[in-house]
Amino acid sequence: MFESAELGHKIDKKTYRKAVPELRAALLDAQYDLKENGKIPVVVLVSGQDGAGKGETINVLYEWMDPRFLSTLAFSAATDEERDRPFMWRYWRALPPKGRIGIFAGSWYSMPIHERIEGLMSKSALDQRIDQINRFEAMLVNEGAIVLKFWFHLTKEGQKKRLRDLEKDPRTAWRVTKWNWERLKTYDKLQDVAGHILRMTNTPWAPWIVVEGADDRYRSLTVGKILLDSLKAKLANTDQQATPVAPPVHPNIDGRDVISELDLSRRISAKDYDTELARWQGKLSELVRDPRFKERSLICVFEGADAAGKGGAIRRIGAAMDARQYQIVPIAAPTEEERAQPYLWRFWRHMPRKGRVSIFDRSWYGRVLVERVEGFCAEADWLRAYSEINDFEHELAGAGAVVIKFWLQISREEQLKRFKEREKIEFKRFKITEEDWRNREKWDAYHRAICDMVERTSTGIVPWTLVEANDKNYARVKVLKTICQRLETALKNKE
């Protein structure tokens, strides 16, 4: 992939000076159109060899464009907080909102390249990370983002010359350190590793652009023109779907499904409930204080029919733990800030670090439930969400999180009974709204969406637990018991 970047590309000073004013004006116009459009985030990755002009190119973009709508994110070694969470957590947090350009100096490629060169990552682990990155970038593009990946290339001799030239100039000598010269010794390894990664991640939706880095003028004009062309093309066709989304939803022939087959008549006596509740709350309290839990985190996801008892189940979980150890995250309609990001962004923000618990009252499954049924997103968006959610949850599990998902189901008759009770009781009236009554009219549509959700996102690593919730006490005990059993198994497997 590097041959075309070893041809000695150069732009003379006269040609450069003539081209820059027009390019700058066009870039500014496109940048303001991007802001005005407000639907497209731009992610620019700047990678490559030392001395190939990464920093200089970022500075040129800041000079040519309006810096108020640019942001630069530089990533080095992960902090303790970042190491306590999944690999992609810190990059999700840094994504630019719609209408802005985010420049990544170092990115999700930097650490895999470094660890592979140092022998800290196996070839199979690297390929797994590559697959994860490809899926992440496809998600970004399907969310409407422009993803531009620049690799600035120098030959080995070109890199030596570049470092010497920088070192000789008093204005740039500070940029060359002993570390840069030491890194030059790994040039051949970098070529092998980077060549493999670039080849495997050179996708149609997020291709690599390899740019020869020896000539500043050539490099700057090349990056500027590619950025301009990409902005203009996307702004002219904002609805283009870049990648296939998902297999179609298949019809149910005989009417039997995972929800209709639940036995909602299951009950537990008041006496047994008190005993079982105390037993499993005590067990949960022990498990989250277990020293092994310091290397794990717990994520509980609660979805269910309106009035199915999610809040009551969540309170029984919280009662078993120190309030400093857990966070309850209630999910409502996204804010303006959240709508400016990929839809999973707002959930990444609440991922717990090791030794902590996050409990989601509603979750990322809103995309395939309420947003699907109510038409808040396009069919292509909720269809592709199934695989994106699976990727998300598997990444959490791979980083040591125990992810437990509950769907609480009640009958239509039981829901009506609870709605009426809520209207009668003063301190429960806030729980019943016009929207709840309106949702009942779409019971069948939600039923189909729930079944599709369970079928497509109940995986071996992160399965769904369906809870028969007509009897609140039975549901609460089942939830606590499930959490304890899953968490205990995870802690044993960590040994």
- Per residue in 401-411, is it b (16+ CB within 10 Å) or e — as a string? bbbbbbbbbbe
Task: Write the CA distances from 165 to 60, 169, 183, 219, integer angstroms.
Answer: 20, 7, 17, 17
Q: Dump pLDDT digits (tens) for 108-133.
A: 999 999 999 999 999 999 999 999 99
User: Is residue 257 included in any domain, yes or no?
Assistant: no
Contact 436, 365 (CB under 8 A): no
User: Angle of helix 472-493 relative to helix 270-289, nearest 10 degrees?
Assistant: 30
* Residue 191 shares a structural domain with residue 293: no
* Residue 231 shares a structural domain with residue 283: no
* Residue 232 shares a structural domain with residue 275: no
* Residue 209 shares a structural domain with residue 305: no
* Residue 26 shares a structural domain with residue 131: yes
pLDDT category of residue 494 using cuts at 50, 70 and 90: low
pLDDT at 399 over 80: yes
Distance, in Å, from the CA atom of 177 to the CA atom of 166, rounded to the nearest integer, reads 10
pLDDT at 251 over 70: no
pLDDT category of residue 1 using cuts at 50, 70 and 90: low
User: Is residue 261 included in any domain, yes or no?
Assistant: no
Question: Among 352, 354, 375, 350, which Cα is nearest to 364's?
Answer: 350
* Residue 319 shares a structural domain with residue 458: yes
User: Is residue 373 included in any domain, yes or no?
Assistant: yes
What residue type is 371 in one-letter code?
E
* Residue 218 shares a structural domain with residue 359: no
Structure tokens of 364? 């990322």
What was the pLDDT predicted at 252?
A: 66
* Residue 278 shares a structural domain with residue 219: no
What was the pLDDT predicted at 430?
A: 66
What was the pLDDT predicted at 4?
A: 78
Q: Dump pLDDT digits (tens) for 370-384.
A: 999 999 999 889 998
| Nearest 10 degrees: Cα torsion 183, 114, 60, 208 | 120
Please identify, among 213, 236, 259, the residue that sits at the C-terminal boundary of a domain.
Answer: 236
What's the CATH number where 295 sits?
Answer: 3.40.50.300
pLDDT at 435 over 80: no
Contact 42, 146 (CB under 8 A): yes
Tell me what the pLDDT averaged over the chain comes to: 91
Task: Write the CA distances from 224 to 44, 57, 217, integer angstroms.
Answer: 12, 9, 11
Question: Among 310, 264, 113, which Cα is nearest to 192's?
Answer: 113
pLDDT category of residue 249 using cuts at 50, 70 and 90: low
pLDDT at 493 over 90: no
Q: Dump pLDDT digits (tens) for 142-178.
A: 999 999 999 999 888 888 888 888 888 888 888 777 8
Tell me which residue range forms the domain holding 56: 3-236
* Residue 338 shares a structural domain with residue 408: yes
User: Is residue 259 included in any domain, yes or no?
Assistant: no
pLDDT at 369 over 90: yes
Q: Dump pLDDT digits (tens) for 210-230.
A: 999 999 999 999 999 999 999
Structure tokens of 314? 């969540």
What was the pLDDT predicted at 487?
A: 97
Contact 110, 47 (CB under 8 A): yes
* Residue 274 shares a structural domain with residue 316: yes
User: Is residue 264 included in any domain, yes or no?
Assistant: no
Higher pLDDT, 122 or 455: 122
pLDDT at 460 over 90: no
User: Is residue 153 included in any domain, yes or no?
Assistant: yes
* Residue 225 shares a structural domain with residue 287: no
Please identify, among 177, 210, 236, the residue that sits at the C-terminal boundary of a domain.
Answer: 236
Please identify, among 191, 210, 236, the residue that sits at the C-terminal boundary of a domain.
Answer: 236
What was the pLDDT predicted at 238?
A: 67
Question: What are the backbone dihedrals phi and psi of residue 208, each rounded to the nearest 5 degrees, phi first?
Answer: -85, 145
What was the pLDDT predicted at 239?
A: 64
Q: What is the pTM of this model?
A: 0.81
What was the pLDDT predicted at 243?
A: 53
User: Is residue 263 included in any domain, yes or no?
Assistant: no
Task: Write the CA distances from 380 to 139, 222, 368, 372, 458, integer angstroms.
Answer: 12, 34, 11, 10, 20
Instruction: Indicate the number of domains in the chain.
Output: 2
What was the pLDDT predicted at 282?
A: 97
User: Is residue 260 included in any domain, yes or no?
Assistant: no
* Residue 158 shares a structural domain with residue 107: yes
Distance, in Å, from the CA atom of 237 to the CA atom of 227, rounded to the nearest integer, reads 16
